[in-house]
Amino acid sequence: MTDTRNMIAETAERLFAAHLDSAVMDAAEAGTWPAALWDEIAANGLDRVLVPAEQDGIGGDWEDAFVILAAAGRHAAPVPLAETIGAGWLLARAGLDVPAGPLSLADDRARVPWARQAVQVLLSADEGCFTVHDIAAMGITPDRNVGRDPRDGITLSEDGTAHAGDVGMIGALVRSCQMAGAIAEVLALCVTYAGERVQFGRPIGKFQAIQQQLAVLAGETAAAEMAARNACRALDRGDDVMFAVASAKIRTGEAAGKAAAISHQVFGAIGFTDEHHLHYLTRRLWSWRAEFGAERVWAERLGRALAAQGADQLWPALTAR
């Protein structure tokens, strides 16, 4: 990583570690907005990492955004940072002002992430376009996902002007980055627990069955991170973004399902209790996996795109990557 990216990663990790504990998490999941956490995020400019410097942003790239989003995923941060980063990039690319404060983006008006806290919401319009809506002009029906983060229904007073930009694609990318970070933290928790939990006179990590599960989880963690990072690089380069993002959402979604299953097998009943940290991660993995298109949705989209190139191009298209 570059020195700047290292600094961004260290800042994000330090910030989340300092401001997120079980009390903050529980309060957020009960409906209390973690204002102190968001104020620190904004003060450090993490929410504007992809906003150009001339618009008071950091002017970074998607690989810079990845380290922030992965850190947010590792800490299961209960704030719309991923949505704000993605929406800020879309607004800036469309030549629009990027307002201060939390932003949201959604491909479904019935399930808008953090609508109740956002100052603006970007909604999918026609294919490859989005519309922008101020929160003040909306009616909001509060709801939440299985991760206990807000997923609100909204009512619009008008449809708004369409601008170029794929909300679904960017939403899938930021969710992939979050999942990659959360899966890495799940692995770390499992490795630590397997080394500490003693059964039949020795740590459970000494049993071959547990070792095999941890090996599978380590492989899934590496695959998820690589897929998400590669999609960020593709967006920075501008080459075949759909293939990279589709692959990332498919691969991180598959890894999320395996990570949740394996981790709860390793931890047993304690992993499901409110007192343990694991469930903050796995509940969000289950939610993020489904949002902005689950694996089946992106697999179909990717398959159609490859099929449209013709049979003679299938193998060259795959091997070129």
Phi-psi region of 31 (alpha: psi -120 to 50; beta: other; left: phi over 0): left
- Which residues, other chains included, contact 118 with Cβ-Cβ below 8 Å and sequence gap of 6+? 80, 83, 101, 102, 103, 104, 112, 135
Q: Which domains does the chain have, with CATH numbers?
A: 3-164 (1.10.540.10), 168-313 (1.20.140.10)
Long-range pairs for 152-158 at CB < 8 Å and ≥24 separation?
A: 152/111, 152/112, 152/114, 152/115, 152/116, 153/109, 153/110, 153/111, 153/112, 153/115, 154/109, 154/112, 154/115, 154/121, 155/109, 156/109
Task: Read off the pLDDT of residues 48-58 as tens digits, 9 standing for 90 and up.
Answer: 999 999 999 99
Burial of 143 (0-12, 13-18, 19+ CB in 10 A): middle
Under DSSP, the state recorded for 124 is E
Task: Read off the pLDDT of residues 232-265 as tens digits, 9 standing for 90 and up.
Answer: 999 999 888 999 999 999 999 999 999 999 999 9
Task: Indicate whether 155 pLDDT > 80.
Answer: yes
User: How many residues does this entry show for the chain?
Assistant: 321
Q: Any alpha helices (H) in 197-240, and if so which ranges?
A: 208-237
Residue pair 278/260 in contact by the 8 Å Cβ criterion: no
Burial of 310 (0-12, 13-18, 19+ CB in 10 A): exposed
Tokens of 120: 């603006």
- Read off the pTM: 0.96
- Which residues, other chains included, contact 106 with Cβ-Cβ below 8 Å and sequence gap of 6+? 112, 113, 115, 121, 122, 123, 124, 167, 171
Return the bridge partners of 141, or none: 153
With tokens 């794929």, the residue in question is 166
The pLDDT of residue 162 is: 96
Task: Indicate whether 1 pLDDT > 80.
Answer: no
**Angstrom distance (rounded) from CA 250 to CA 184:** 17
Average pLDDT, integer, range 10-27 = 96
Residue pair 124/132 in contact by the 8 Å Cβ criterion: no
Task: Read off the pLDDT of residues 90-110 as tens digits, 9 standing for 90 and up.
Answer: 999 999 999 999 999 999 999
**Angstrom distance (rounded) from CA 176 to CA 247:** 10
* Mean pLDDT taken over the chain: 95
Tell me phi and psi for residue 47, to 5 degrees: -75, -15
